[in-house]
Structure 1
Amino acid sequence: MKKIVLKKFLTGLMAAVAIVAALGVQAAEPFKVGFVYVGPIGDHGWSYQHDQGRLALEKHFGDKVKTTYVENVPEGADAERVIRNLAKTGHDLIFTTSFGFMNPTLKVAKRFPKVTFEHATGYKLSKNVGTYISNTYEGRYIAGFTAAKMTKSNKIGFIASFPIPEVIRDINAVQLALNKYNPDAELKIIWVNSWFDPGKEADAANAMMDQGVDIILQHTDSPAAMQAADRRGAFAVGQASDMSKFGKKAHIFSVVDNWSPFYIKRVQQVMDGTWKSEDHWGGMAEEEIVIPEFSDSIPADIVAEAQALIAQIKAGTLHPFAGPIKNKAGELIVAEGEILPHADLAGINWFVEGVPSEIPK
C-alpha cells in the first residue's frame, strides 16, 4: 500500500515539475518582433537602414527579444500574405516599412487584434496600428540649401521614386530652399517608379548630367546615382544611409534615417503595456534624421551656415514648411507666420511654386 502511495506521489511530483518547467520555458520566451522590407537589406539605403534599427534592437535587448525580417516584399497582395504569416507565427509586434504596405497592414491587424503593428510613412491608424515617419524633409531642406550655394550650372537633379506624399514633401523642401537661397537654380526631376533599381537610377543620373546637372539628390535606395556622379565629376547627396564610400569625390553628405531610437522605444512600450496607437514624426531634434558629416569639398562658410540651419531646425526656430508658401499656380497655401501642419504634410499632393514639373498621375 505504501509503495502504491509513494508511486502516486512521485508521479504527481514529476507532473508538477514538468508543469513548472513548462511554465518556466514559457516565461522565458523572447518578445518576437517582425520587420517587412520593400527592398533588400543590402540596398545601402532605406531597407538597409531599417535593418540597422533591427540590429540595434537585438543589441539593446539581448535575449529578451527575437527579431525576424522578410526582405524584397512587393507592395500589394504579397505584402498582406507576409504580414499575416508573421502575425500567425507568434510575433508580438510587426513593423511594416513602406507606404504601399499601409492597407495590407490594416487588413491583417483587424484579424489579429492582440498583435501590435507599426506602419512606416502611412497615415491610417487603428486600435492596434500606429504610424511613424522621419522628417526627411528637414534633411532635404539642408540638401537644397547646399545645392543652391554650390551649383555652378544652376541645375539640380532629383531622382524620384513614386508620387506619394513622402516624396512630394521632400521635392517641395528642396525647391523651397532653392527659392530662398538661389532663385536662379532649376530643379530637374526624373521619376523612376521604383524604390530600388540601380540600373534605372544610374540612367536617370546620367540623363541629368547630360543636361548639365552638377548636383544630384535622390529619393531612391541604391547608391547607383552616387556612383554615376562620382564617375563624371558631379556632386551628390546620399539617401537614407551614409553613402560616402560609394562616391569619395561626389559625396557631399548623406541624409541618414536613424530608426534605432524609435524602434527601441516602441518595443519597450509594447513590452511594458504602455504602447498607444499614435502618428509619430521624428526628425533632427530627436536624432532620427542626421547628417553625420560634411565633405571637405563643401566650402567652410557653406558648412557653417548649413550647421546653423540644422541647429535652428533642432531648436524649432526654423521649419522648412513655414509660410508664406505658394503652390505652382501661385495661390497662397501657407500664410506668413503659419506652419503647414503634420496632417497636411502627411497627405500633401501639390507642388510648391517653382517646381518645374507636374505630379504624375
Structure 2
Amino acid sequence: MKRRTVLMGGAAATLSLSMGARAVLAQEGPLKVGFIYVGPVGDGGWTYQHDVGRLEMVEAIGADKVETVFQESVPEGPDAERAITQMVLGGAKLIFTTSFGYMDPTINVAAKFPDVKFEHATGYKRADNVSTYDSRFYEGRAVIGTIAGRMTKSNKIGYIGSFPIPEVIQGINSSFLHAKKVNPAVELSVVWAFTWFDPAKEADAAKALIDQGVDVIIQHTDSTAPHAEAQKTPGVITFGQASDMSAFAPSPRVASIIDNWGPYYTKRVQAVLDGSWKSEGTWGGMKDGHVLIGPITEAVPAEVKAEAEKMIADITAGTYHPFTGPINKQDGSVWLADGVVATDEELSGLNFYVEGIVGDIPS
C-alpha cells in the first residue's frame, strides 16, 4: 500500500503568500487535496490508516475529480507550518493535517490563505476555513479493556501512552474501567513514551512493562514494535492500534481498534466539490463507522468474544456509553454519579485518572 507522491516545491515554494493564494484560486482541473502525516505511511498504524482513507476517498470520488498529495513524517511544530504552506503554494485547495500537534500550525497557515480549506484531526481550534475531526477511540478501548480484564492471568495490564493529552487519557481510563469491571483484581501500569512513532522507544516501553509482570499490553502509539517485543514472551497478548496489525494475529495481537477514515475523507472532499463544505467539528464513533474493532482471534475464549461483541453492539446502538457513572476520580472524589454519562465537554478536556490507577499524569 505504500505510495509516495512528490509535492510541488522548488520555484513554487518561493512565491509570495499573496501570489500563492491567487494561484490556488486560479487552478482548474481536479481538486488538489493534501495530507500532512506525523509518521511514515508504512508505520502500520495511525499514519498508515489515514493513508488507507486517502486512497479509499480517491477510489470513491474518482481520480478524474480529485488529485492527492501528501508529506509523511512531518514533525509537530514549526516544520509543520512550513510543510502546510508549501502544500498550499503547490495548489492544494483542501488540506488534512492529521496529528494533534499540527493544530496551531494549521490555524496559522489558514489565516494567511482564507480561500483554502483545512481539516485538522484531533484538535479543537476552528476558523471559518478550518474544521476539526476526531473519533471516539475510548469506545474501542472499552471493548479491548474488557477482553484484557478477562484474559490477564497476572492481573497486570500495561498501557503505552504517547502524550498526556485528553484523547490518550480517555483511552487509559476507559481501558482500566472496563478491565476492572470484569476483573476487580486488575492493576494498570502506564509507561509514557512521549512519541507517536518511535519503534525503539515503543519496544523499550513494552519490555519494561513485561519485566514488571504485565501479560497484556495496550498501546496508544503507532508502530507494531510492542507486538514484536511481546512475541518474545509467551503468554503476553497485545491489541492493534489504529489499524488491524493482523500480521501479529492470532497471537500476541488478539483484537484491534481500527480508525476508519475513508468515509469521512470522502464526505468532506465531496462537500468541497459540490460547494457545501462549512467549518464544523466532527467526533464520530462506532455508530458512525469511524471506530471499528478488528477480528477477534481464536486466542480469545468464545464467551469473552461474545461479551466483547455485545458491548460493540450496545455502543453502536447508543444504549451504552463507556463513561457512565458511578465513576470516581483518582483521589476518590465523585466524578460521575450513578447513571450519569460524561459530557463531550468533560471528555474533551479530561486531565485526570480515574480511581484505582496508580501514578501521576505528566505535566
TM-score by length of 1: 0.91
Aligned pairs for 1:58-137 (under 5 A) are 58-62=58-62, 63-137=64-138
1:137 Cα deviation from its structure 2 partner: 0.5
Residue 229 (structure 1) shift: 1.1
Please give the alpha-carbon distance, in whole angstroms, between the structure 1 residues aligned to 2:157 and 2:97: 32
Q: 2:293 aligned to 291, 294, 297, which one? A: 291
In the TM superposition, what whole-angstrom CA distance separates every residue of 1:18-48 from its partner, at most 9, and x where no partner exists? xxxxxxxx89600011000011101000001
Partner residue in 2 for 1:53: 53
Match of 1:211 in 2: 212
Q: Matched residues in 2 for 1:341 and 1:65: separation?
A: 37
The aligned counterpart of 2:224 is: 223
Unaligned runs of 5+ in 1: 1-25
Task: Report deviation, 1:206.
Answer: 1.2
Preserved contact between residue 197 and residue 222 of structure 2 (Cα < 8 Å)? yes
Cα distance between partner residues in 2 of 1:61 and 1:179: 44
Name the SS of the counterpart of 2:176 in structure 1: helix
Q: CA deviation at 1:321?
A: 1.1
Deviation at 1:331, TM superposition (A): 1.3
Give the structure 2 partner of residue 12 of structure 1. Answer: none
Q: Distance in 2 between matches of 1:238 and 1:190?
A: 17
Alignment partner, residue 273 of structure 2: 271
Amino acid aligned to 2:40: P
Aligned length: 336
C-alpha contact 1:229 1:247 (8 A) present in aligned 2: no
AA partner of residue 186 (structure 1): E
Matches within 5 A, 1:98-247: 98-233=99-234, 234-247=236-249
- Secondary structure in 2 aligned to 1:220? coil
Deviation at 1:196, TM superposition (A): 0.7
Larger mean CA deviation between 333-342 and 170-179 belongs to 333-342
SS at match of 1:138: helix
In the other structure, the counterpart of 2:36 is 36
* Aligned partners of 2:34 and 2:69 also within 8 Å: yes
Secondary structure of the structure 1 residue equivalent to 2:70: strand
- TM-superposed CA distance for 1:90, in Å, is 1.8
- Residue type at the aligned position of 1:307: E
How many percent of aligned residue pairs carry the same amino acid? 53
Give the letter for the 1:223 counterpart: T
Q: Structure 1 segments of 4 or more deviating over 6 A?
A: none
Separation in structure 2 between the aligned mates of residue 341 and residue 250 of structure 1, nearest angstrom: 35
One-letter amino acid of the counterpart of residue 328, structure 2 = K
Superposition CA RMSD, Å: 1.3
CA deviations over 1:111-134 (Å, ceiling 9, x no partner): 111111110010111111111111
Question: What's the counterpart of residue 249 of structure 1?
Answer: 251
1:51 deviation in Å? Answer: 0.5
How far residue 231 of structure 1 moved from its aligned partner, in angstroms, is 2.1
2:254/2:297 contact within 8 Å kept: yes
What secondary structure sits across from 1:240 in the alignment? coil
| Larger helix percent | 1
Shift of 1:89: 2.1
SS in 2 for 1:231: coil
User: For residues 106 and 259 of structure 1, what CA distance do their matches in structure 2 show?
Assistant: 22
Partner of 1:348: 350
* Aligned pairs (5 A) from 1:2-13: none
CA deviation profile, 1:211-255 (whole Å, cap 9, x unmatched): 111111000000010111122121100100111203542110111
Deviations 1:185-231 (A, max 9, x none): 00011101111111111111111111111111000000010111122
* Partner-residue secondary structure (3-state), 1:180: helix
Q: Which runs of 5+ in 2 are unaligned?
A: 1-25
Aligned-partner SS, 1:232: coil
Q: Partners in 2 of 1:218 and 1:288 — Cα distance? A: 19
CA contact (8 A) 1:230 1:248 kept: no
Task: Write the distance in 1 (CA, Å) between the matches of 2:34 and 2:348.
Answer: 25
Residue of structure 1 equivalent to 2:325: 323
Task: Write out per-residue CA displacement over residues 59-107 of structure 1, whole angstroms, 9 at most, x where no aligned residue.
Answer: 1122200001000000000001111111222211100000000011011
CA distance in 2 between counterparts of 1:36 and 1:193 reads 20
> 1:326 offset after TM fit, Å?
1.2
Residues 121 and 132, structure 2, Cα contact 8 Å, conserved in 1: yes
Determine if contact 2:250/2:298 at 8 Å carries over to the other structure.
no
Higher-Rg member (1/2): 1
TM-score normalised by length of structure 2? 0.90
